[in-house]
Amino acid sequence: MTISDHSADAAAPAQADWIRRAQAVLPAGSFGNFPGDIVIESGEGARIRDADGRDYVDYLIGSGPMLVGHRHPEVIAAVQAQLASGLTFFANNPHGIALAEVIVDAVACAEQIRYVSTGSEADLYAMRLARAHTGRQKILKFEGGYHGMSDVALMSLAPKRLANFPEPVPDSAGIAEAVRGDVLVAPFNDLEAVRALVAAHGPEIAGIIVEPLQRLIPPEPGFLEGLREIASAQGIVLIFDEVVTGFRFGYGGAQALYGVTPDLCTLGKVIGGGFPLAAIAGPAAIMRHFDREAVGEDGFLYQVGTLSGNPVAAVAGLKTLEILRRPGTYAHIEAAGRRLQGAIRSAFAAAGVPVQVVGVPCLFDAVFTEAPVRNYRDIFHADRRRAMDFTRALRNRGVLKPDGKFYISAALTEADLALTEAAIAEAAPEVAAGAVTA
């Protein structure tokens, strides 16, 4: 099977005009999320269409929220019904309360939740909550772990300079120098490094924040269990950042898959069904810091958000989670992911290119290295050029993915998967030869 090369229409006028206009009014010509060289106009199921009318099989899926696919008819119907009743109220609404009940029922660590609008906010407040609860200041995070856009989170997310642990490296201009003193950085999958840091700083550490699957990298057996043991022994709040993994790794998220329950978790992406919605979840004994009457002025964590828990996002989330609960939904996602993981391995083996397919079936990518991938530095030392070439070669063949991952959706059809497999097979020798066109 041959996939037509989409790159031939790269200068078609409709998209070129939008790109020109974006460059005039947006820094770097983009919203800051995805490269500004594509303008997406619509999506349906597992396909999206750009401003020139070209279709792509979509493994970006809005950076994760569209797990049941674009424009799912049941989600659209639920949203349209709510639009007739109002958009937002800055007060409790029935749908937000009902969604909170569903989340509490599904997520092991959750007795209560507090809504926010973005994963960045959720992680920021979870770390602040750990400080409020323990009276301590320091946060321990893992090099390469992504926890949003706060000053603490943007320490050693993707450092270009590899510092000695536990020194944090700021990933952005504009971060106050004082923030460094409140952050400790450890390598992912290294319990001994964590034990050493806790032995040296334990009474100062408020929280340990970790992605249960760090970007793509799975936890080694015993790693999450070890973090749970260390945190419990030292009175440290263990935070699982499940903004990505929540309801994607199965209905109970990564904590259900791996069998380790944190003190707090953060959720986002899937729970809003494509609308801005995120949450902090945890036991009432910690979440009570959001209640001034329960903890008094000194223990109260102030948090408000104009759109937090708005009814449009809540109904989209409720319907999305209902769809995910249906028999066979997660099995379909897993089978599709395993199929594409196998296609990548086979194609690059045939092309003579060393590759590791890192991740889990619902979230993975090709990392071009012969070495096992256990942490950020293993990815840092991999062949980044080949990874970018692979992404570009797929896009030229009608498959859209971000640099660094495939997001698998429940909407993928046999035709979508067959097109993707063919694109992978064609892309591999081109990547091997360094002949990918821009």
Q: Give the active site residues.
A: 146, 241, 269
Tell me the sheet residues that pair with 66: none
Q: Which amino acid is at 25?
A: V
- The H-or-E segment that residue 15 falls in is helix 13-25
The pair phi, psi for residue 364, each rounded to 5°, is -160, 175
**Tally of CA atoms within 13 A in the half-sphere of 142 that contains its CB:** 31
The pair phi, psi for residue 124, each rounded to 5°, is -55, -50
Contact 94, 86 (CB under 8 A): no
Contact 265, 241 (CB under 8 A): yes
H-helix segments, 325-367? 329-351
Name, in order, each residue with C-beta under 8 angstroms of 293's C-beta and a sequence gap of 6 or more: none
Contact 114, 99 (CB under 8 A): no
110 closest CA partner among 118, 121, 102, 120: 102
119 closest CA partner among 150, 141, 142: 150
424 closest CA partner among 360, 384, 365: 365
